[in-house]
Amino acid sequence: MSLLIQEIPTTDAPMKLLLLADPSEEKIRSYLPESKCFVAISSEIVMGACVVKPRGSGVHELMSIAVHPDYQQSGNGTALLKWVIDFFQRAGASQLEVGTGTFGYQLSFYQRQGFRVTSIDRDFFLENYDEPIFENGIQLMDMLRLTIRYSKDIV
């Protein structure tokens, strides 16, 4: 089964899918208009989606990435993330950043693709979400900021 990854208008962003990665529709809608949205499609089914927002000076932030539960653990998320990393490197970005919880599979998911921890936003999830967010029975409190810095030579 072949996977097609492409940019789509943010007005067509698959909200239900993006809510798997960020439980606040209000937050997603706040960053969508300034962002780029990418989807991973196979057999006309949207399996995954990703939203990246420019931060200025060649810096971009991965705001959300999600794969439909029926298609997880099949390499679709990794393929989408690799594609997005390459897309922004080819576009001349200086770095790509992402924020995630301090534990869980998401942290290793990003680190496997070359992201490195650069800072901690203490109490981020407590201060930015009305409802507590739990993962594996543990409440998320702090956000780790991870970064890939691109070299000037495009591979």
Q: What is the pLDDT along the chain (155 residues), one digit of tens a residue?
A: 689 999 999 999 999 999 999 989 999 999 999 999 999 999 999 999 999 999 999 999 999 999 999 999 899 999 999 999 999 999 999 999 999 988 888 899 999 999 999 999 999 999 998 899 888 899 999 999 999 999 875 54
Q: Where are the domains of the chain?
A: 4-149
pLDDT at 119: 95
Secondary structure of the chain: what % helix, strand, coil (to 5)? 30, 35, 35
Between β-strands 95-101 and 143-149, what pairing exists: parallel, antiparallel or unpaired? antiparallel
Closest CA to 17 of 76, 60, 59, 75: 76
Which tokens belong to 150?
């691109």
Number of neighbouring beta carbons within 10 Å of residue 128: 12
Number of neighbouring beta carbons within 10 Å of residue 84: 23
* Contact between 36 and 51 (Cβ < 8 Å): yes
pLDDT at 104: 80
pLDDT at 103: 83
Closest CA to 100 of 72, 133, 130: 133
Q: What is the pTM of this model?
A: 0.90
Whole-angstrom distance, CA of residue 84 vs CA of residue 130: 30
Q: 4-149: CATH homologous superfamily?
A: Gcn5-related N-acetyltransferase (GNAT) (3.40.630.30)
C-alpha radius of gyration, the chain, whole number: 15
